[in-house]
């Protein structure tokens, strides 16, 4: 299926910075054609109000199809209407609007699944507000997995020059260590390997697998997870023809020369992956969900309720998410 439609951009949390960065990304795209066209699945009135409040008026055009959105994009921000149930007070999320946020995600997936849109890009949601509105999933990733059964979603974070893939995600460090298994490492690596080929155009992906303990366990003196869990997983992967190496001590895995030797790092827990990535490029990170039947990216930041309404929101991560989604969709279409 050719990736010819616009990207489908969800509303995100309307009381946060989603509206501001959506408007700023659209404005940047008017002169920077490396930013791909997108359609906002949101409330047009909300976006118009955002523009007025930011002293950043942008023409907003309600459209009835993704095809029309492409025709309108250079000149007006095209919006497929998802109405909000309650007025938006910036910085103060309202659970009454949670169903609209969810409908925006559903519509983005529907458009992408039938080929009208090329990929899903999600603005950040406010999880506590979603839960209060009846949302039953830990976050975007788990909900998209439910919509895409039997998909196996895997979280990747990406910047220029570094991709990190998480074996465990939002767990305490103690729970992450306790839940680590060879099977989990193998599953994540397999999904990453396939995605690097299909979505990133890397014919022979190189995976560097991080150790869990200092000095990769020091032959068991500083921990046995490398010997008992990670090394056996790497051996299994290599037997399957996957170029996985390690386990490498995490403190030597992310310097400049080390990063040249792999296409993605398979990390054991959240901060092991995100600290180096955010240190290298705090504003430009992109959250990518691998293993879905459609491409999905997101800015690597939250709703930023504390700065909503102040005009300070940086659209860099959203713009990076739009560019990467378009690139991945094009690679997938070529396959």
pLDDT of residue 295 exceeding 70, the answer is: yes
Question: Which percentage of the chain shows pLDDT scores above 70?
Answer: 98
Give the CA angle between residues 288, 246, 274 to the nearest 5°: 35
Name the average pLDDT for the chain.
94
Beta strands 154-159; 286-290: pairing state: antiparallel
8 Å CB contact between 161 and 280: yes
Would you give the distance in Å from CA 181 to the centre of its chain? 25
Range list of β-strands (E), 152-241? 154-159, 162-166, 206-210
Q: What is the model's pLDDT at position 166?
A: 97
Confidence bin at 22 (pLDDT 50/70/90): very high
Tell me how crowded residue 293 is: count the other CB atoms within 10 A of its CB.
13
How far apart are the C-alpha atoms of 111 and 105, rounded to whole Å? 10
2-6, 11-15, 147-151: which has the highest mean pLDDT?
Answer: 11-15
Confidence bin at 1 (pLDDT 50/70/90): very low
Confidence bin at 7 (pLDDT 50/70/90): very high
Q: What is the model's pLDDT at position 56?
A: 67
**For residue range 124-145, what is the model confidence (pLDDT) as tens digits?**
999 999 999 999 988 888 899 8
Question: Which percentage of the chain shows pLDDT scores above 90?
Answer: 88
Range list of β-strands (E), 82-230? 120-121, 154-159, 162-166, 206-210
Range list of β-strands (E), the chain? 7-10, 38-42, 60-63, 77-81, 120-121, 154-159, 162-166, 206-210, 243-248, 264-267, 286-290, 296-299
Q: What is the model's pLDDT at position 4?
A: 75
The sign of the torsion formed by the CA atoms of 198, 201, 204, 206 equals: negative
pLDDT of residue 211 exceeding 60, the answer is: yes
Q: What is the model's pLDDT at position 145?
A: 87
**For residue range 214-242, what is the model confidence (pLDDT) as tens digits?**
999 999 999 999 999 999 999 999 999 99
Q: What is the model's pLDDT at position 54?
A: 65
Q: What is the model's pLDDT at position 273?
A: 97
Confidence bin at 55 (pLDDT 50/70/90): low
Number of H helices, E strands in the chain: 13, 12
Beta strands 77-81; 60-63: pairing state: parallel
Q: What is the model's pLDDT at position 309?
A: 87
The full set of domains in the chain, from first to last, is 7-150+294-334 (3.40.718.10), 161-277 (3.40.718.10)
Q: What is the model's pLDDT at position 2?
A: 46
How far apart are the C-alpha atoms of 40 and 44, rounded to whole Å? 9
**For residue range 278-290, what is the model confidence (pLDDT) as tens digits?**
999 999 999 999 9
pTM for the model stands at 0.94
8 Å CB contact between 56 and 158: no
The CA-atom distances, in angstroms, between 167 and each of 63, 104, 187, 192 are 40, 29, 9, 11
- Choose the weakest-confidence range: 30-34, 47-51, 107-111, 301-305: 47-51
Average pLDDT over residues 245-254: 97
How far apart are the C-alpha atoms of 300 and 290, rounded to whole Å? 15
């Amino acid at each position: 299926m050719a990736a010819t439609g616009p990207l489908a951009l969800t509303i995100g949390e309307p009381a946060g910075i989603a509206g501001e960065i959506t408007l700023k990304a659209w404005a940047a795209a008017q002169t920077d054609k490396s930013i791909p066209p997108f359609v906002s699945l949101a409330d047009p009135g909300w976006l118009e109000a955002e523009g007025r409040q930011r002293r950043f008026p942008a023409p907003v055009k309600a459209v009835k199809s993704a095809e029309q959105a492409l025709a309108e994009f250079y000149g007006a921000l095209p919006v497929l209407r998802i109405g909000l149930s309650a007025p938006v007070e910036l910085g103060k999320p309202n659970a009454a609007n949670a169903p609209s946020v969810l409908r925006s995600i559903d519509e983005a997936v529907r458009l992408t699944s039938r080929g009208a849109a090329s990929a899903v890009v999600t603005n950040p949601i406010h999880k506590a507000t979603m839960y209060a509105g009846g949302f039953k999933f830990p976050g975007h990733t788990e909900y998209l997995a439910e919509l895409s059964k039997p998909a196996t979603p895997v979280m990747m974070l990406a910047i220029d020059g570094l991709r990190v893939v998480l074996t465990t995600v939002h767990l305490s460090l103690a729970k992450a260590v306790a839940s680590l298994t060879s099977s989990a490492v193998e599953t994540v690596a397999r999904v990453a390997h396939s995605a690097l080929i299909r979505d990133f155009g890397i014919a022979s992906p190189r995976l560097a697998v991080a150790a869990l303990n200092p000095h990769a366990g020091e032959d068991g003196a500083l921990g046995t997870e490398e010997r008992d869990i990670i090394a056996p997983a790497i051996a299994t992967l290599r037997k399957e023809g996957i170029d996985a190496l390690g386990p490498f001590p995490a403190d030597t895995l992310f310097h400049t020369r080390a990063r040249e030797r792999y296409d993605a790092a398979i990390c054991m827990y959240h901060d092991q992956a995100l600290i180096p990535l955010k240190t290298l490029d705090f504003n430009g990170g992109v959250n990518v969900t691998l293993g879905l039947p459609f491409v999905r990216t997101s800015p690597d930041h939250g709703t930023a309720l504390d700065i909503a309404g102040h005009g300070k929101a940086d659209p860099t991560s959203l713009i990076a998410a739009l560019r990467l989604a378009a690139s991945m969709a094009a690679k997938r279409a070529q396959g």
